[in-house]
């Protein structure tokens, strides 16, 4: 474990290899599971403000789920999450060539918004557990991401490098530099032993 400011970071972020391979996984992380994407409280108002902008990207069943539930629901653990369509995929998902994609991200890339998507989605496969005094920053090992682990292994890209942008978005540039420094120190220590 690596301590940086108010976070405890799993060394798996440095050791595991990961690069999303949408052609192989088909965006299954937006479809599989028993709950929607975790949301931070401040993201809810952003999502509500952007709803009219992203509606043109949404399929009818997604719009229907959002109209029924709003932009979030509270799951069985008491967490705020995106609503699901008929208990299956995230309501903000649209499908392009059988690949599940995010309507918020599509609007971002189309230049219609400056907000990319919920941070939990942007950070995946990293999951953050908030405790009173710190955040635990962990790698979530999920079978649907096996193609991403294979791809990351072939390209030799560790999780923390693949997720550079969202990690900086969440914790800042200085935090990320400290993580890179911790990685260098770990490599140096391993070479000496």
| Residue-level pLDDT, tens digit, the chain, 193 residues | 888 899 989 999 899 999 998 888 888 777 877 788 899 999 999 999 999 999 999 999 999 999 999 999 998 888 899 999 988 889 999 999 998 899 999 999 999 999 999 999 999 999 998 899 999 999 988 888 888 889 899 999 999 999 999 999 999 999 999 999 888 887 766 666 5
Tokens standing for 159? Answer: 């999780």
Helical H segments across 73-112, by residue range: 103-109
> What is the per-residue pLDDT for 189?
64
Question: Rounded to whole angstroms, what are the CA distances from 99 to 28, 50, 61, 102, 106?
Answer: 8, 23, 16, 10, 13
> What is the per-residue pLDDT for 73?
92
Question: Closest Cα to residue 24, out of 134, 113, 106, 147?
Answer: 147
> What is the per-residue pLDDT for 113?
94
User: Which residues, including other chains, have CB under 8 Å from residue 30's CB and lie 6 or more apart?
Assistant: 37, 89, 90, 93, 100, 101, 102, 121
Strand order in the sheet with 2-4: 2-4, 7-9, 135-139, 126-130
Domain extent listing, the chain: 1-18+125-193, 34-115
d(CA 66, CA 72): 8
d(CA 156, CA 169): 23
d(CA 158, CA 79): 29
d(CA 101, CA 192): 45
Secondary structure of residue 21 in the 3-state scheme: coil
pTM of the model: 0.86
Instruction: Judge contact between 115 and 122, C-beta under 8 A.
Output: no
> What is the per-residue pLDDT for 176?
95
Instruction: Judge contact between 1 and 181, C-beta under 8 A.
Output: no
What are residue 112's phi and psi, to 5 degrees?
-95, -10
User: Which residues, including other chains, have CB under 8 Å from residue 193's CB and lie 6 or more apart?
Assistant: none
């Amino acid at each position: 474990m690596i301590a940086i400011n108010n976070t405890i970071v799993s060394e798996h972020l440095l050791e595991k290899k990961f690069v999303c391979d949408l052609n192989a996984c088909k965006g299954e992380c937006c479809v599989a599971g028993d709950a929607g994407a975790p949301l931070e409280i401040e993201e809810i108002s952003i999502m509500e403000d952007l709803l009219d902008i992203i509606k043109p990207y949404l399929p009818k069943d997604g719009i229907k789920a959002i109209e029924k539930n709003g932009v979030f629901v509270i799951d069985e653990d008491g967490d705020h999450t995106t609503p699901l369509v008929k208990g299956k995929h995230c309501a903000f998902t649209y499908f392009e060539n059988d690949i599940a994609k995010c309507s918020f991200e599509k609007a971002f890339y189309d230049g219609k918004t400056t907000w990319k998507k919920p941070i939990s989605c942007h950070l995946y496969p990293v999951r953050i557990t908030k405790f009173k005094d710190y955040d635990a920053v962990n790698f979530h090992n999920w079978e649907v991401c096996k193609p991403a682990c294979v791809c990351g292994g072939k390209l030799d890209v560790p999780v923390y490098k693949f997720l550079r942008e969202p990690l900086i978005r969440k914790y800042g540039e200085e935090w990320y530099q400290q993580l890179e420094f911790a990685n260098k120190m770990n490599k140096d220590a391993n070479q000496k032993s």
